[in-house]
Structure 1
């Protein structure tokens, strides 16, 4: 056996043999306690070993599969599918070896593997219309509010798993994944908005001429989401000033009505059911932050943004995007946001505010770890702040610079002549690399990434998505690009050079 394992490519055949022996003899694996499943697995072991030997790091794949098997709740169908598809074994081995987060999801919900054998898996990513149809089909026969929430969570987790697996397998690009994650979150948010509103109206009725809009901020707003992104949301509302009470059996007055509605919406996202949490929701970007009301009336929102908001709030507003509202109210909210962004501003004041905010973040988060891609000196935050600064100081004369997407802002700024071609190329190249790396790291690492303790599979994936021959080449490239970005930040925002 040891000789056979060695020929297959395992570097530690004794360890592999011992692990296989545990699979075949021990009763520690919950999923194998059903006799039919156990027998199917034993018949499958020879093919499994051959499949795991095809992994980039065969010994690590065996260890990862053993860890997965210990966590597996039930496995009859999964084992059957794996035994019939050697390519699927290799794909699952990659997931298990590089992305423990996805492996844990698969262990809890083995049915997720069905998506990997769907003929559509390696095709084009579903657009928003197709996602909407799939979501509707998932929810159509839900019999209760609780079942509705469970099915939404299953849909979200399945989508995350499938998008994540495609990132690992190299069959989607990082920008495609960012858009796909955002489309899933947006579809779920729109669905929940309607569901929660209907439930709320059944209890409390409606206020005359009421309107509500969900504004996505941050990564959802810019459609640059990752597997671990939370949702930065603001809820905006309006109603007839002269008739502020709802007409339901449990009537509520004006602001109280919409505060309660917002609480209900947040709860629908964040309540932990049997299938976990849908998304973490962050409402801190609302006017006045934690001290302000959960929801804002449209005129109050506009007044605050025009007269009281700090520069950092206007920076955040550059990525604001209405994701759920009636067409008329959507247009009204979008116009209010645009009016704020195209207001004339003093360049020097904005530059000073942006530089001070960047320094404050560096003092709080640190900026010396190059693998903290977001906060490192010359990292993602530097690029985002440059894009936001350029919009705030130039949008009054050049509204065409505006976009919620960072890379599109850089394109617009270069085209309009407010960003040099040289600087634009540095920033675009960096933004692409950082997005590629961030998608992988957020998918595969729950804490900060440390190369010295990272698995070989993950380091190979990082090098591959960056088109580098090995990890050391990637590390050198990251250092160089971050240095270039920091120099551009100094020249544009801090006025050096």
Structure 2
């Protein structure tokens, strides 16, 4: 069957084909004995796909097979049968890796050829790709299971019945709609706990399957000389990366009943057990069904759908994606979203909707009367067009992309296979398809595009040309603000000179009347306009953000109110426009994450980013921090959060980020050098200690992180990687990597400024210390001020054993008996040095941190009391925050209750004022008269405690 014989290849395509053909002849002269039509077809395929050309130049022996039947209709059952036959006699994992990859590449060449040549419909191509992937995964699983059972015994339940590993295919693999270069999302599970039977020693089933799961991911994912089978993503499993690789049915059920989230319901719509069907498969699907499909018509899902819609638009804006046929407005994801939304809402009542296939589900929606014929026809045909373009794009060079080409050759390849004339012709078809999809997408979630606002007086005000007309309009509206029109007029003139494009200018003209209406509701509109216009200045050339504000009244209202409430927030919004996405839903903006949920929220957030794209991972960490800080600040300025909770939230947010930074750093260093003996991601032999505000759970906006890194004394020997280094060097590299990840500046700025000067020996000391050496230093060499710092230190991330050991060492050092007079002298001298170095205040003003009676004095009082009395009262070594230290001092009667309460109240009040001033972007000073009543008493207590003689 000749390939597009009536079409002519472009000059660039001919050049590409000729280059590959000459290579083939040189490597495999038999190519010249092929028939003319076969040679012509090979050259055409070479012109269309670099991937096929490269593979056939490496394996020319495949060419006769392709022409002798391999290009004929695909018999999908053959994949599984052939793979099991190939693997039967193999005895090592390396042999299996090679066999899987070579089989995969041959079949992918076959499927790509059929796709480019239009030998199969798009729907069939997607099922072919999915069937191949499923066969490869299952063949690898089955070989590994037998191999491990020989080594470790057979995992069995309490009655001795063998237990299998079940694999849930998620996403497009589950729906049998896999792309040419897709990742595969998998979840591993097994029916029942128990132990292995027949091995040298019994091990738990879960331990067996975790080991098997790790090997299976490696068999499929590792890049070898033959490439890889599939990139495997396991992050959709319960608890994401921090959860066990494999859980039992009971573990899955508990997780989804108690903690399953809306996005996990969406993911589970396409979940399907891979491989031959068994009773266990029925059991697993029955177990998951109540989580995915409610027994009633679930209109509660609609609100979740709207949030999902916002997340899609947010993703496109944040990543500044253009020409993306998956994530863009009207893209592939929106079709999937439309269909899955109906499945979630009605699947509980309509069993026919409980299927993984999009094509099957959309036909059922028509038969149920949920979608009209025109909607089904437009969605299906538009989806097929986009998926075909996506598949061809990826088959050009086996790359995971959904972005339209940026070069003429690839456009020519697409147009040739799509039987269209040129790029303009194909773009027209793609844009028409995406417009239809987006219209149905908006209709599904009740969304609406922007509405006109021309009939409001603010529209006249924005477009007015003469000053006297502006004054007249303001008088008619009874608005007395003489500064407003000059400010607006100057800003409009400045904007008119900027190049923002016709679409941007049109959007701005629609936005400004609506925004001015919000500004007019403020006490002084001109004062509100200044910070708001600063934000607008930064987004004028990013039309998607202008459209966001134009189409979302809630976002406009929050922009104005927050900019008026806090210049700090206004500056954050101007510097990082992606934060505007957080303003869309006011209810969500002020529904701040609970203290304990930051780690989980961050893990979920990072799931949106490819695991191996470090640049995007680093950007995502910064975006998460910025968005969460904005929510905390919004709750702060509106009085929703008291100061103690503001600091708690900022501190636990930082801890969640520290956890992920350490994990990222560990993966990077381990990938290069391996890991020290006896360690893994869950037992690193490493700990992060927080000092200062982080240690005292008192972080503010913009606070840096005082960190000390420790490792355990078990880490001897060398790492186990291809480029081994000694363990102490590994931990040094890990520490350096952590600091680098924090300090690197991306589009969203620096993550945190990290201060390591509190480590043993300060800036001249090692970046990471062995914990016992750390204890020796603290006991034998550290200065008094270092022991003061230790009072405000605590374990924030790492191994439990190290946490316990650090707590014991810290308590031991703090409990050392000290001469109180000498201690008081040392603490006073350090306080004087600090004040001389750091105190900056204007005449008649009080520096909240450094003036006598301020925050630092209160902290020094607490530190002195802990160091002076811990040898008698071990309770004083428990807490690192000042508020609870003063509570303990009062309980132990080491300080009068009224005195402790006054110090606590003043401390919280001063910190509260400091937060307020930070949000107003003002220096941390207040008039002496405002603070004197509180701070004079602090000065008196400071003198009593630190200047008295013991």
Indicate the TM-score class for this superposition, using the shorter chain for normalisation.
0.7 to 0.9
Task: Give SS of 1:309's match.
Answer: coil
Q: Look up the match of 1:68.
A: 535
Task: Give SS of 1:245's match.
Answer: coil
The verdict on how the C-alpha distance between 1:486 and 1:160 changes in structure 2, with shifts beyond 3 A counting, is same
Q: Look up the match of 1:18.
A: 486
The verdict on how the C-alpha distance between 1:9 and 1:134 changes in structure 2, with shifts beyond 3 A counting, is farther
Q: Look up the match of 1:294.
A: 767
Within 1, Cα distance between the matches of 2:826 and 2:523? 48
Contact 1:245 1:251 in 2 (8 A): yes
Within 2, Cα distance between the matches of 1:4 and 1:371? 46
The verdict on how the C-alpha distance between 1:437 and 1:359 changes in structure 2, with shifts beyond 3 A counting, is same
- Tell me how far 1:8 sits from its aligned partner: 6.0
Q: Look up the match of 1:205.
A: 674
Within 1, Cα distance between the matches of 2:590 and 2:923? 30
The verdict on how the C-alpha distance between 1:200 and 1:483 changes in structure 2, with shifts beyond 3 A counting, is same
Task: Give SS of 1:246's match.
Answer: coil
Q: How does 1:234-273 map to 2 (within 5 A)?
A: 234-240=708-714, 243-273=716-746
Q: Look up the match of 2:811.
A: 338
Within 1, Cα distance between the matches of 2:550 and 2:654? 34
Contact 1:207 1:247 in 2 (8 A): yes
Q: Look up the match of 1:459.
A: none
Asked if residue 169 in structure 1 is aligned to residue 653 in structure 2, the reply is no
> Would you say how many aligned residue pairs link Structure 1 and Structure 2?
470
Task: Give SS of 2:690's match.
Answer: strand
Q: Look up the match of 2:653.
A: 184
Within 2, Cα distance between the matches of 1:88 and 1:29? 27
Equivalent position to 2:898, from 417, 422, 445: 422
Q: Look up the match of 1:59.
A: 526
The verdict on how the C-alpha distance between 1:199 and 1:476 changes in structure 2, with shifts beyond 3 A counting, is same
The verdict on how the C-alpha distance between 1:179 and 1:41 changes in structure 2, with shifts beyond 3 A counting, is same
The verdict on how the C-alpha distance between 1:40 and 1:152 changes in structure 2, with shifts beyond 3 A counting, is same
- Tell me how far 1:264 sits from its aligned partner: 0.8
- Higher-Rg structure is 2
| Comparing 180-189 and 2-11, the one that deviates more | 2-11
The verdict on how the C-alpha distance between 1:79 and 1:141 changes in structure 2, with shifts beyond 3 A counting, is closer
Q: Look up the match of 1:466.
A: none
Q: Look up the match of 1:454.
A: none
Asked if residue 224 in structure 1 is aligned to residue 224 in structure 2, the reply is no
Within 1, Cα distance between the matches of 2:821 and 2:678? 43
Contact 1:234 1:285 in 2 (8 A): yes
For each residue in 1:346-386, what CA deviation from the matched residue of structure 2 results, as whole angstroms up to 9, or x when unmatched? 22121111111111112112365544211111110001011
Within 2, Cα distance between the matches of 1:49 and 1:496? 66
The verdict on how the C-alpha distance between 1:408 and 1:170 changes in structure 2, with shifts beyond 3 A counting, is same
- Tell me how far 1:450 sits from its aligned partner: 6.7
Q: Look up the match of 1:465.
A: none
- Aligned CA RMSD, in angstroms, stands at 2.6
Task: Give SS of 2:589's match.
Answer: coil
The verdict on how the C-alpha distance between 1:71 and 1:395 changes in structure 2, with shifts beyond 3 A counting, is same
The verdict on how the C-alpha distance between 1:11 and 1:311 changes in structure 2, with shifts beyond 3 A counting, is farther
Q: Look up the match of 2:918.
A: 442
Equivalent position to 1:358, from 816, 823, 831: 831
The verdict on how the C-alpha distance between 1:439 and 1:8 changes in structure 2, with shifts beyond 3 A counting, is farther
Q: Look up the match of 1:457.
A: none
Contact 1:367 1:377 in 2 (8 A): no
Q: Look up the match of 1:393.
A: 868
Within 2, Cα distance between the matches of 1:165 and 1:21? 30
For each residue in 1:375-429, what CA deviation from the matched residue of structure 2 results, as whole angstroms up to 9, or x when unmatched? 1111100010111111111122222233111111111111211111232232122
The verdict on how the C-alpha distance between 1:426 and 1:6 changes in structure 2, with shifts beyond 3 A counting, is farther
Within 2, Cα distance between the matches of 1:487 and 1:83? 57
Asked if residue 377 in structure 1 is aligned to residue 835 in structure 2, the reply is no
The verdict on how the C-alpha distance between 1:387 and 1:39 changes in structure 2, with shifts beyond 3 A counting, is same
The verdict on how the C-alpha distance between 1:433 and 1:90 changes in structure 2, with shifts beyond 3 A counting, is farther
Q: How does 1:271-290 map to 2 (within 5 A)?
A: 271-290=744-763
| Comparing 190-199 and 166-175, the one that deviates more | 166-175
Contact 2:500 2:540 in 1 (8 A): no
Query: Could you state the TM-score of these two structures normalised by the residue count of structure 2?
Result: 0.47
